[in-house]
Chains A and B, each alone.
Chain A
Amino acid sequence: MDRLDLLRGPVPPRPHDARAIAALAANPGCARRAVLDAAGIDKDATATHLGFPAPFGQSPFAITRGNVFESLVKESGCAELLRLLRDILDLPIPLAAYNDLGDVGGNPSAHLRHSHTRKLIDRAARDADDAGTLYDHPLLRLDIAGHSSYLEPDVVAFRLGGLFRIVEIKSFAVVDGQAEPDKVAAAARQAAVYVLALRNLLRELGHDPGRVSHDVVLVCPENFANRPTATLVDVRRELAVLKRQLARMTRVGTMVDALPPELTFDLARDADGVPTRPVAELREAVRGVDARYAPDCLSTCDLCFFCRDEASAEGSTDLLGRQVRDALGGVATVAEALGLADGSLTPDEGQEEIARLLRLADRIYAEVS
């Protein structure tokens, strides 16, 4: 995979956290995103250098709130979490051992922390006793396009009997049993990444990967207070999507082989880390890999403004969103669709039906407005 290193330039690959991996599933058809992510390129820095900084940011209030809630749940060896697990799993868990895997004698190396997690999970999987065990900050690993990515450990794994469960702590509220659907969906996608990583780990260690439950425990504040509540979320569908997308990324090699050999996204940072790559050159390089822009990218991808600008320059119907594109039967550009509508363009084979509909729409619209 030297080719990917060349694409990235002489900087370490950007690690994928669970959020980034989950976002891969959002737009699986985008080759640009697949290649840049496989190469571990810092898309945020790339977008900024191109003059299209990403429109995201997280409020310090939200970050504080998240941290406060998480520490509340994990206080005194996850006492509160244990209470929730007892309720939701309907199990008489007398007590559970608590293992913090985040601290390995002050050595923060991801590799070391991962082998520590590995060792403990292996021992846990062999152990047949009934006492529950909580593993805080397990450092899991997932192979993405031939690169190992360590996952930011903001999750707890819980073992009871022979079964492992992923516990995800989120700070959005569940009010009267309901939460914002898009936040729950995002949490489920992220949890699926951890389930997959833990299953892979068990498989590598020679255990049955089915011992990791596909029902994850989602812990959120209840109503308007800070009091946590737990819900079981089935992530089988998210797991299937994720596996498909990861399998596709391992095939990114063929995509990369088709790229011109001299192509690179290197920002050519100087000694102070300031990018010196000429912007026009970088723009050409990025444009060398096809994107599939959709308005949903605006909330998930750092390069969204760049790709939107490109789609706009090309007059692509992608700009208007999937609903419009569907209504246009997949006609790719605005000029083509309008040409079909006013009859100045002869429809290609297979376009007769949409052309007829567009001409009719054009006629009726002119008639009534």
Chain B
Amino acid sequence: MSTLAALARLRALQTGTAKRLATVRHCHLSERPMVFIPLRLAGEAAAPLAAMAGTDPARPRLLVVPQPRDRDLRFAFTAELAEILLPYVEGLQKATETVERRGAEPYERCLDAPQLIVPNRGAVAFVHMLGRSTRFRRAEGPYAVHPSVPVLGRWLTFLAQRAQYPGSAVLLAATEALSLHWATGQSMLEDANLASLLGWIDPPAGMTGASAAREAEDPLVWPPAGPATDPGFDTEVLVPAIRAYEQRPTERAAARVGEAVRTQLEPTWGLMWRAIDLLGGLPAGPGTAARWEADRASFTNFTAQLAEGGPPQPKRDGAVGAASRLARMERAQASYDAQRAYDDPLVMAGHRLTGEAFTGTVVATDPDHTEGEGRGRKLRPLLTIRTTDPARLAPGARLGTPERRGQQAEVVEIAGGLVTLKIIKGMGRGKAATPGAVPEVGERVCYAALSDEFQPPASLPAPEDTPWTHGGPPPEHVPADEDPEEEWS
């Protein structure tokens, strides 16, 4: 944790209210996100107990499995979830835009993508598990399920896998999105409790954040946001309700289980929309649109894959697939870090503190400075900046600046609070620099060693050329017959 974030937590603890860690919002927020709060039966890997889902705060849909150990009831639950999620996803596939590319065929990209918001990281893991347990099922043969179930499984898997990319917003955990923007006066471990985190950020009138957060820890006042339920609730309410259903599986008995889980889900439903409102109250950072564009492209690709009848996502990546996924994640991380810093002086402040970036006032410029002779003569404007930040940059380091996003500069010298830079990119192609490209004397500027440049994808062999060191070419995908029949007990 940066000293800046630590200091913000200290101030939060001292004042009793959360402190801002960002001046703008760093995650895209859809105009119509879907909130999904899953509950799991304790002790099971992926046995759904109930869920609340929907895109309208006033109209949550409650899904219940009155006997979570009953396989048929579980698949009925997933089919019902598919009825909610699939129309939402499919509705976003229709409107597209044509994207022109230099040197390649233009392609169609969806104008919007789904956004699923869940309470916490545990719920993200549950989405992944639910996807894993449903995507290999089949609509015919033994143990046939409703045709929508495997499709749901693939979409849940898509969302969970996409969520691993830094900066992606198709599946957000509310606690993580909030923690990105606010520092509380408690530990990160306690921040994983949505009610307590919101207590710090937005306490009820007449209460400090600290006391609201403490109150939120009582499972009787604020039931856990899932996927695990409160053990006390399980013992006292859920066990008898499920037992009654087992003895007489009537509608009344099912309704009793439903009412029981509703009491556990409804408070969190309210919290989720409050979290969305709080995030929506922040102005969007400019980088969020670019990152959402990547999400939209990914969504469009996956839609096409499904339409072409591709197989369900494999249980494990092959060597080449895993390496390329890791490389993409690393690039996403680097550009996510850079974009956030360039979008937000408060995020940049953290980099200034570690010396990777600095802010200062321009004290001298040489806009017509050139390097080289004859045809190799290049314009390299120089500028000198006075700073009180502890810049720790080596001569030759490449820097970018939030004030002029396309520009690149190189460190020439750092001495006694004065930094000399030469601009090497983004000052125009003419003999003299484009007006405005070189900062004026007296201007306040910021430079940082963070790059958001396009990086070419990692060059990896085709899967069929996987070297023996990595297990050789992977076997061709043959849908295993036992997969659709996999037990789920």
Contacts and interface: CB of A to CB of B under 8 A. Distances in A.
Nearest to B2: A327
Given A224-B133, A320-B187, A364-B349, A334 B13 contact: yes
Contacts of A367: 349
B214 to A, nearest CB: 9
Given A60-B235, A337-B10, A176 B315 contact: yes
A64 interface: yes
Contacts of B10: 317, 320, 324, 328, 334, 337-338, 341
Given A61-B42, A224-B45, A358-B7, A323 B188 contact: yes
Interface string A38-61: 000000000000000001111111
A295 B190 contact: yes
Contact of A327 (B3, B23, B133, B190): B3
Contacts of A358: 3, 7
B370 interface: no
B14 A338 contact: yes
B7 A171 contact: no
Contacts of A62: 42-43, 231
Contacts of B235: 57, 59-60
B217 A55 contact: yes
B231 A57 contact: yes
B20 A357 contact: no
Nearest to A173: B45
B182 to A, nearest CB: 12
B7 A175 contact: no
Interface in A287-304: 295-296, 298
Contact of B46 (A57, A224, A337): A224
A181 to B, nearest CB: 11
Nearest to B190: A295
Interface string A44-88: 000000000001111111111110000000000000000000000
Given A59-B234, A61-B43, A62-B42, A365 B186 contact: no
Interface in B1-53: 1-11, 13-14, 20, 23, 41-47
Contacts of B217: 55
B13, B133, B217, B230 pick with most chain A CB within 10 angstroms: B13
B270 interface: no
Contacts of A369: 20, 23, 346
B188 A175 contact: no
Contacts of B315: 176
Interface string A294-329: 011010000000000000000001011101101110
A177 B42 contact: no
B18 to A, nearest CB: 13
Given A327-B3, A369-B23, A175 B42 contact: no
A362 B47 CA distance: 48
A54 B194 CA distance: 20
A320 B346 contact: no
A368 interface: yes
Contacts of B228: 59
Interface residues of A, number: 50
Contacts of B432: none
B101 to A, nearest CB: 37
Interface in B226-256: 228-232, 234-235, 238-239
B132 interface: yes
B185 interface: yes
B291 interface: no
A369 B6 CA distance: 15
Interface stretch (B79-87, B109-117, B481-489): B481-489
Interface in A159-185: 171-173, 175-177
A60 B349 CA distance: 49
Interface in A326-362: 326-328, 334, 337-338, 341, 357-358, 360-362
B23 A368 contact: yes
B187 A175 contact: no
Contacts of B417: none
A83 to B, nearest CB: 17
B340 interface: no
A338 B185 CA distance: 13
Interface string A196-233: 00000000000000000000000001011111000000
B390 interface: yes
Nearest to A341: B7
B175 to A, nearest CB: 15
A321 B389 CA distance: 28
A250 B33 CA distance: 57
A55 B224 CA distance: 12
Contacts of B231: 56-60, 62
Contacts of A172: 45
A65 B44 contact: yes
A224 B1 contact: no
A176 B132 contact: yes
B487 A227 contact: yes
Interface string A3-36: 0000000000000000000000000000000000
B13 A319 contact: yes
B478 interface: no
Contact of A295 (B1, B4, B187): B187
B351 to A, nearest CB: 10
B316 interface: yes
A320 B42 contact: no
Given A55-B217, A176-B316, A327-B3, A319 B187 contact: yes
A55 B188 CA distance: 18
A105 to B, nearest CB: 34
B129 interface: yes
A59 to B, nearest CB: 3
A61 B2 contact: no
Given A58-B231, A65-B44, A298 B133 contact: no
Given A323-B188, A362-B7, A225 B44 contact: no
B5, B10, B190, B229 pick with most chain A CB within 10 angstroms: B10
Nearest to B71: A224
B4, B6, B47, B230 pick with most chain A CB within 10 angstroms: B6
Contacts of B5: 324, 327
A173 B133 CA distance: 12
A60 B238 CA distance: 10
Contact of B188 (A64, A223, A321): A321
Nearest to B239: A60
B352 interface: yes
Contacts of A327: 1-3, 5-6
Contacts of B489: 224-226
B109 to A, nearest CB: 32
A59 B229 contact: yes
Interface in B296-352: 315-316, 345-346, 348-349, 352
Contacts of B7: 337, 341, 358, 361-362, 365
Interface in B45-93: 45-47
Nearest to B21: A369
Interface string B173-214: 000000000000111111000000000000000000000000
8 contacts: A61-B238, A172-B45, A173-B45, A295-B189, A360-B389, A364-B349, A365-B4, A365-B7
Closest 8 CB pairs of A and B: A62-B43, A225-B487, A321-B187, A59-B42, A173-B45, A57-B231, A65-B43, A295-B187
